[in-house]
Amino acid sequence: MQVGRALISVFDKTGLDLFARGLNDLGIEIVASGGTAAYVAELGIAVVPVEELTDVPELLGGRVKTLHPGIHAGILARRGREADLDQLREHGIRTFDLVCVNLYPFQSVTGRRNVREEEAVEMIDIGGPALLRAAAKNFLDVVPVCEPARYGELLDLLAAGGVDLDLRRRLAAEAFAHTAAYEASIATWFADVETFPPQVLLSLERQTGLPYGENPHQRAAYYSEAGVRRHLLSRVEQLNGKPLSFNNLNDLDAARALAREFALPTCVIVKHANPCGCGVAATIEEAYEKALAADPVSAYGGVIALNRRVSAELAARLGEHFVEVLIAPDYEEEALAALRRKEALRVLADRERRGPVPGDRDYRRVLGGFLVQDADTEVDDREGMEVVAGEAPDERLWGDLLFAWRVAKHVASNAIVVARDLQTLGIGAGQMSRVDAVRLALGKAAEHGHDAAGAVLASDAFFPFADGPRLALDAGVTAVVQPGGSRRDEEVVEAVREAGATMVFTSRRHFRH
């Protein structure tokens, strides 16, 4: 299909200079609206302002520019229908063969903190979506364009003879997806006053393709929610290694979420979306040694998240082990050089400093829909917790209890964490029985030479019976933190009291399925 006349109306002028010049060089007439026409004219390129076709100037401060039959009839006319063409001739309207539109930046404006409602409302584009949808509807005769990334490709095709039907159909799909995402972001913004509105519209943008999914026979890609302030890979730069995989990203999400719980130097090692080791210390080197020593067997092939710069010394230690993914805020030059000697090691620099946003939602895919809930992003502290057995913890013990409790929040339920001196000693994850989770955590600790004497234990949910705490107490655990709320709380508390140990109720559960 040849193009003789193009309509351009864009907010984002990225690449427009090259595109407009390319169209002009090909002898294609350019019609443009408002600011776009002024921009093209400043480039020294011939352009016809929209108002010359509508005989009406921009109205209402620019709210009305292109909403006119002289524009939309030229887009929607079916070239194969003589009746359509007769009507165009009757009213002196010419057709458009290409329509290039992108929309007001509603998502970026409303993504800012404390944006005023009137400012957000003015970023709701009316004419742009109408133009784009009209062009996409008539893809048999019109080339719809909404992505600047397409400009170069289209200029090459137009110079070579035209744009084929298959590409026009794909461009139409892009256009409708573009306008649908835009409308979804507006609907979401308006519905934000309701906790859980009758309809939730998810709009996703592909960030990257993935080699495969959870298993090699599954295709996969990574998508972020359109318009979000931050996502898993926002402000993350890959400095080395193979492309990230589906499982890498899943584990990376788990590792970063746990690392965010702590302000002190912290290392988190994750396998299969569960932490197998976590350490907090005075230095990041010491934190890594703690996390690795917690379960060095499970750490093999893990994803490691650090919240401090990686030194040459630490890089040397990391190089002694098989690591799938390493993420840290920064790397010393010598450290990065050492890590790059392992060609497959995925090294990521995390420069994202924005934290979770109040009101973030968690979506879990189930058959035919989603379970939607508030994200469990709050960091728990001792305020609101209650000592129900034993003496009040001193500062060291409080530190261990809070450390174990925050780690347990990121372990699959049923979850048990045994810890001491800000180091996990054993983790029991994803067990169907809580007492089995205790056995697993204690067994993992013993397997790697960790004595539970003087350790603490955290449980993500209440103990329904006293058997779990008794196993831990018999192994030497001296303090337990759990939500409480069981019918047998008094029985559980009494078992701890009889052992001369301490128990703290958090009154908050942290299931993670």
CATH code, domain with 500: 3.40.140.20
Judge if 24 and 154 occupy the same domain: yes
Total number of residues shown for the chain: 513
CA distance 51 to 62: 12
Sequential DSSP letters for 306-342: ESSPBPHHHHHHHTTS-EEEEEES-B-HHHHHHHTTS
Judge if 15 and 138 occupy the same domain: yes
CA distance 414 to 447: 21
In degrees rounded to 5, what are phi and psi of residue 351? -110, 15
- Over residues 238-258, the mean pLDDT reads 97
Judge if 14 and 104 occupy the same domain: yes
Cβ neighbours of 319 (radius 10 Å): 14
**How much helix, strand and coil, in percent to the nearest 5, is found in the chain?**
35, 20, 40
In percent, the amount of the chain with pLDDT more than 70 equals 97
At 15, list the tokens. Answer: 């690449």
| 324 is a domain residue | yes
Judge if 415 and 314 occupy the same domain: no
| 230 is a domain residue | no
At 303, list the tokens. Answer: 């994803």
Q: Is 137 a catalytic residue?
A: yes
At 443, list the tokens. Answer: 């067994």
Last residue of a domain, one of 325, 350, 375: 350
Domain containing residue 415: 386-505
Judge if 168 and 33 occupy the same domain: yes
- Over residues 149-161, the mean pLDDT reads 94
Determine if residue 462 is left, alpha or beta; phi over 0 gives left, psi from -120 to 50 gives alpha, anything else beta. beta
Judge if 415 and 469 occupy the same domain: yes
CA distance 289 to 287: 6
Judge if 312 and 409 occupy the same domain: no
Judge if 268 and 153 occupy the same domain: no
pTM of the model: 0.84
Out of 51-55, 171-175, 229-233, give the one with best mean pLDDT.
171-175
Instruction: Say which of 13, 68, 137, 242 is annotated catalytic.
Output: 137
Judge if 295 and 390 occupy the same domain: no
Judge if 59 and 128 occupy the same domain: yes
Strands, DSSP E only, in 252-402?
266-271, 274-280, 302-306, 323-328, 346-350, 361-366, 369-374, 386-389
- Over residues 145-169, the mean pLDDT reads 94
- Over residues 54-61, the mean pLDDT reads 74
Judge if 427 and 300 occupy the same domain: no
In degrees rounded to 5, what are phi and psi of residue 286? -70, -40
CA distance 346 to 326: 6
Last residue of a domain, one of 306, 330, 350: 350
In 138-202, alpha helices (H): 151-160, 165-191
Is pLDDT above 80 for 119?
Answer: no
Least confident of 135-149, 191-205, 341-355: 191-205
Q: Are 285 and 314 in contact (CB under 8 A)?
A: yes
Structure confidence at residue 66 as a pLDDT band (50, 70, 90) = confident
Structure confidence at residue 195 as a pLDDT band (50, 70, 90) = confident
Query: 42: helix, coil or strand?
Result: helix
CA distance 102 to 481: 54
Q: Is 271 a catalytic residue?
A: no
Instruction: Say which of 68, 231, 242, 272 is annotated catalytic.
Output: 272
